Each structure stands twice: as C-alpha cells, then as structure tokens.
Amino acid sequence: MTPLLEWVRNRPDGDLQSGRTTEVLKIVAERLDAFGPDWTTSVDGSRLTGTGSWVVALRDNHTEHDEHLDLDFVLNVDRPAETTISDCVTGYGATARDAWQQGVGVWATLTAAAVVELMRPANEFADHYHGNDPGGFLGWHTISAGFVGFGRGEPEALARWATDNPLIPQLSSVVSGGLDRGHLNGVKILFGGVAGAEVAEVRINGREHPESGRALLALPWPRPAEPVFARTFALLVHPETDACGQS
C-alpha cells in the first residue's frame, strides 16, 4: 500500500475527499509547471491557482470510479460561466495515484495544452485551425493538440486513423447542434473498443451529447481485436464568418 492510500484509508470520509482533491491538484500542478514559468502553480484548498486570473478545480466525481477525474480550467475567476473549460478523464494504473497521474497526463496533453495555447499563443503545444481547414471544425477557429491513443495491442492505431481521416470535420455538423455558448466551447471525443463493445462518447462543455456519440459510432473507424481507444479535445474559440476563416 502506498503512503497516500494508507493515509486516505485512516482518514474520515470528509478528509478522504479533501486528501484526494489535494493529491490530484498537486499532480495537475506538476504537469502545468512543465508548460513554463508563466504556469507556476500552487494548491489553494480545493483549487489550483496560478499567475493571472485562472484556476483549476476538481469537480465532484460523476461516476463511481475513483480513477475518474472531472476537471475545470477556469480562465477568468471573475467570469466562470463564460470561461470555464470542463473536461473529464479516467486514468489507468496499479494504484489510485498511478491512475490519477495517467489521467492528468492525458488531460494535460490535450485539454490543458489547448488552453495554454489560447492564453499564450506559440504553436508549441497545440495547433490552430480555421473553419475551412482540413482538420478544422466547420465555421470555428479551433485549437487542438491532436489525438492520444491508449489501451492494449497497438494503442496508437486509432489515433493514427483519426489523424489520417480528420474526425472533427466529420462530426462538426452534428456537434454544432449541441453548442451552448457563443465562444470557448470544449469538445471531448473518445472512441474505441472491440467490435460489439465499442465506446463512442462526445461531451460538449462537460455534458454528454448523445446525438454526436451516435454519429461517432457510425463512422468507419477500425474495430481492433483488443481494447484500444483514442481521445482528443477541441477548443472552439469563436465563430469565423467568411470563407477565408477570418472573423
């Protein structure tokens, strides 16, 4: 048993959740610090604070699995309703902390990278797409860091397929029906699994969008013999109004 799990087991329920939050946010802080000095962080109670007006908070777990993390990246604490980028991720590992580290790693590689690129544009951690670009979301300026693959067998197989067959443009028309903000819409796409037990999930601003999930399931992505998954996160920054992609 790790020191963390031993500490958690011996705490009352209220302290258990507090300890989980603190430990997860410490892992998040380590990953954000890797983006550079502008992203130096500190854990402040139930949230992670950094330079400027942004915070990261761990929301209540909407599942029964301790490995699942619901994370909010709030760009401006004075305007949370307009600037909160919500996402969730399930980690995998031999211990709870291993799972949290793996899950936060995926979140940082995709979601946090898109937010960092939005706030400090450098084309270093994520890419910008106009609405008419081959990999873009129709009608929107989008930031995305690509796909991450994980699972057994060849975990990069689906990620390669999604890169070679741009997935976001194929889903943009149905996803558009679920957008509920005029800017800063976060779209999580997760798919994979073996034939007959596929997973196809699309979440818009943290909420599942079943119509987009069904459209994703209907696409001809490979169904591997072993459980393999691919994940991406697209940050739809603002609509673009003309054919040249300029707003």
> In tens digits, what is the pLDDT along the chain, a chain of 247 residues?
333 233 323 333 333 457 889 999 999 999 998 898 777 777 877 788 887 789 999 988 887 888 999 999 999 989 999 999 999 999 989 999 999 999 999 999 999 999 999 999 989 999 999 999 989 999 999 999 999 998 888 888 899 999 999 999 999 999 999 999 999 999 999 999 988 999 999 999 999 999 999 999 999 999 988 899 999 999 999 999 754 455 4
What is the SS3 assignment for 175?
Answer: helix
The per-residue pLDDT for 17 is: 55
Six-digit token pair at 158?
């689906």
- φ/ψ region of 64 (left if φ > 0, alpha if ψ in -120 to 50, else beta) reads alpha
CB-CB contact of 208 with 88 (8 Å): no
Number of residues written out for the chain: 247
The per-residue pLDDT for 6 is: 35
Six-digit token pair at 71?
């994370």
- φ/ψ region of 111 (left if φ > 0, alpha if ψ in -120 to 50, else beta) reads alpha
Six-digit token pair at 202?
């699309």
The per-residue pLDDT for 142 is: 98
